[in-house]
Structure 1
């Protein structure tokens, strides 16, 4: 596969055409206030895993609408005192999986909170959180569920779950709430960006090859799923282009990035047809905090940096979460 998007020097200057809704902040303030009317009710149940270097808790907390959302909390077994925490969000189609697949951050001395993704997990890893909210007709996948209106869109529920996941992680006595990072790859990176714009006191943000950014360009430059789900839907519902674009604008990572208040480490891959590099740079270039960096992988597709990016995170994050 060859490079297909803008040259790197143009990517570094590229700005999205996504139009921010005038009531963007009011929409999200109302959404989070409604979620806050439900008790968080975060519960942590110890799990016997056979692992000796970590202790694992099966987590349940109340997300959007008070719906129960699952997660894992993984702590270093020998930890003393509250630890900085990395709250991680999962890629498209995946769930929280099994706890022994989440050892990196606890091995580095951090608490690690992994949020399950409502309704997902049937494609890989496996999930345990249903989405009890129905939808009008939609293309297969999650991108068009409730897309007729921002109030019914699937990602309104998921982004709200993610904000509540941060609160749940911070509620555990083994976590230092003042040292919280959010991270994720692909869909998880897009969710991390949303949280960066909605939670004002994070210590760090690490979105890898983030999805859900610069919808106007993403939906027209690539025909690979999941973005193509939107095109398939609009191919059927020909008269809804402006209506869908209006909904998506409330969930565009570019607008959340513009509100971010924490240092960030991004990554982009120049042969990425799933999350084209221009869409990632759109969020990076809009990102409001001055302490930001992007790792670029010139000959990778959506796998991005993989273990190389993990190593970059391990070099970058400790200083941002230091006491």
Structure 2
């Protein structure tokens, strides 16, 4: 079967916001992102030790929500001849960000792991975590070694929802993976993000998975149907008990970052 890249599409609901969405959703996020546009996002990189001589490791710091420092860990293959596809992996803060990166970087990817703060259950917009996640993608895209049109995002565990928000805010991601429960406190916002997403999604079964599966990627489905003449599946739901987590993730990411017709990001930073 022929593989297709998603063209750029306008990320907006097909009609007026549904009653289950915050009434000022689009205006709020447009204002929030505009307020961060003048805050420099290019990361500071410091060389670090890698466990393999074929990989280069660096610690990463960039400005996140309201300019606060966000830390991460970047791994890249040594001696790559061309710009690399990338993955932004969002993990809960307090974990070991420097662990378990080789599974993707050794295959020719720039793998950025970022620690995202816990969900703010008192904030229906969850601005801190979602803005940090959005800016992590921006930070990776500034690197000369990375192809900005081939970036995937992975959200895991308690911060999986941040990947949903990132895909809703960025129409030109290559793909998204959501591996964790969706907090009920943010359901309305995440439904709104899912409706605006235009990138293929792989998600694991869990709390909130059904609503994401139902609401995700109307723009992506329409774009693909126009290109191919048929309805392509843009959402894949998998069991949480993976026998080979690395293989499953890698196949999904590779499928959507190694296509021949690569679009050019046009998001205003």
TM-score (norm 2): 0.77
Aligned pairs (5 A) from 1:149-298: 150=124, 155-212=126-183, 215=184, 248=186, 252-268=189-205, 275-276=206-207, 279-288=208-217, 289-290=220-221, 291-297=233-239
Mapped to 2, the partners of 1:255 and 1:210 lie a distance apart of 17
SS of structure 1 residue aligned to 2:135: helix
Rate the CA distance shift 1:65–1:143 in 2: closer, same or farther, 3 A.
closer
1:24 CA drift (Å): 0.5
Answer whether contact 2:55 2:105 (CA < 8 A) is retained. yes
Match of residue 305, structure 1, among 221, 234, 241:
241
Q: SS at 2:33's partner residue?
A: helix
How far apart are residue 283 of structure 1 and its match?
A: 0.8
Residues in 2 aligned to 1:321 and 1:71: alpha-carbon distance in whole angstroms = 22
Determine if contact 1:188/1:207 at 8 Å carries over to the other structure: no
* Correspondence for 1:219: none
Within 1, Cα distance between the matches of 2:243 and 2:71? 27
Other-structure match for 1:82? 83
User: Quick one: distance in 1 between partners of 2:91 and 2:19?
Assistant: 25
Q: Which runs of 5+ in 2 are unaligned?
A: 1-17, 222-232, 261-269
The 3-state SS of whatever aligns with 1:90 is: strand
| 8 A Cα contact 1:267 1:296, kept in partner | yes
Whether contact under 8 Å (1:42, 1:59) holds in the other structure is yes
- Rg larger in structure: 1
Question: What is the distance in 1 between the residues matched to 2:84 and 2:135?
Answer: 19
Root-mean-square deviation (CA, aligned residues, Å) is: 2.3
Residue matched to 1:14: none
